[in-house]
Amino acid sequence: MKEVFLYPETVVRHFRKPKNMGRMKNPSGIGKVGNLLCGDVLWLYIKVKKDEKGEESIADVKFECFGCVVAIGISSVLTTMVKGKPLEEALKLRKEDILGKTGPLPPIKVHCSVLAVDALHEAIYDYYLRNKTQIPEQLQKEHERIQKTLEKVEERFKKYVELQEKVFGAKKS
């Protein structure tokens, strides 16, 4: 049977054999995004190293994901893209950069790539926070947007579940 993919081949390949998967001991920063109720949770760990010139870069990166194929695959792709990269460069990473590497996603799955980028930026934010580094304005704004989106999604989702419960009388056991 010919292999036909619903998702870009690169994404599927990374889903099949994810790189940099697992928990990291003593990370320099962690980004936790997504929501359990929604079925998308991504935790991204970074280890940051300073070189002689004082430039900070991502020495190691790992991720854990409870989520769909694309979320897992894209997270893996992202880790390979940022490993060894200076933080500043990592901060410039956008979902378009990932999609440029993998090819386009179906519209319904675009948010999975947003999830990965958000996790990365949140990890860096966390690192800055822990190290009491001045947080760049842009990153601060991003952090706020992410937290707000998470809240919003959660709220919307809770409403959906509540509706289901009201309508369908769920919540038994």
Which string of x and - marks every residue 111-150 that binds ligand FES (by CB under 6 A)?
A: xx--x-----------------------------------
Q: Kindly list the catalytic residues.
A: 38, 112
Q: Is there binding between residue 165 and another protein (CB under 8 A)?
A: yes
Q: Between 81 and 112, whose beta carbon lies closer to ligand FES?
A: 112
Q: Between 49 and 159, whose beta carbon lies closer to another protein?
A: 159
Q: Is the dihedral of CA 160, 63, 91, 108 positive or negative?
A: negative
Please say whether the beta carbons of 142 and 101 come within 8 A. no
How far apart are the C-alpha atoms of 148 and 170, rounded to whole Å? Answer: 28
User: Which residues on adjacent β-strands are paired with residue 45?
Assistant: 30, 62
Partner whose footprint covers residue 8, from another protein, ligand FES, none (CB < 5 to 8 Å by kind): none
How far apart are the C-alpha atoms of 46 and 59, rounded to whole Å? Answer: 8
Which string of x and - marks every residue 23-42 that binds another protein (by CB under 8 A)?
A: x-----------xxxxxxx-
How far apart are the C-alpha atoms of 82 and 46, rounded to whole Å? Answer: 10
Please say whether the beta carbons of 20 and 61 come within 8 A. yes
Identify the DSSP state of 7. S
* Candidate ranges 67-75, 79-87, 92-100, 125-133; the one touching another protein (CB under 8 A): 67-75
- Selected from 65, 78, 82, 116, the binder of another protein by CB under 8 A is 65
How far apart are the C-alpha atoms of 31 and 78, rounded to whole Å? Answer: 13
Q: Between 39 and 140, whose beta carbon lies closer to ligand FES?
A: 39
Q: Is there binding between residue 40 and ligand FES (CB under 6 A)?
A: yes
Query: Among residue numbers 103 through 122, which ones bind another protein (CB under 8 A)?
Result: 107-109, 111
Distances (CA, A) of 101 to 45, 70, 116: 22, 14, 14
Residues of this chain that interact with ligand FES (CB under 6 A) are: 40, 67-68, 70-71, 109, 111-112, 115
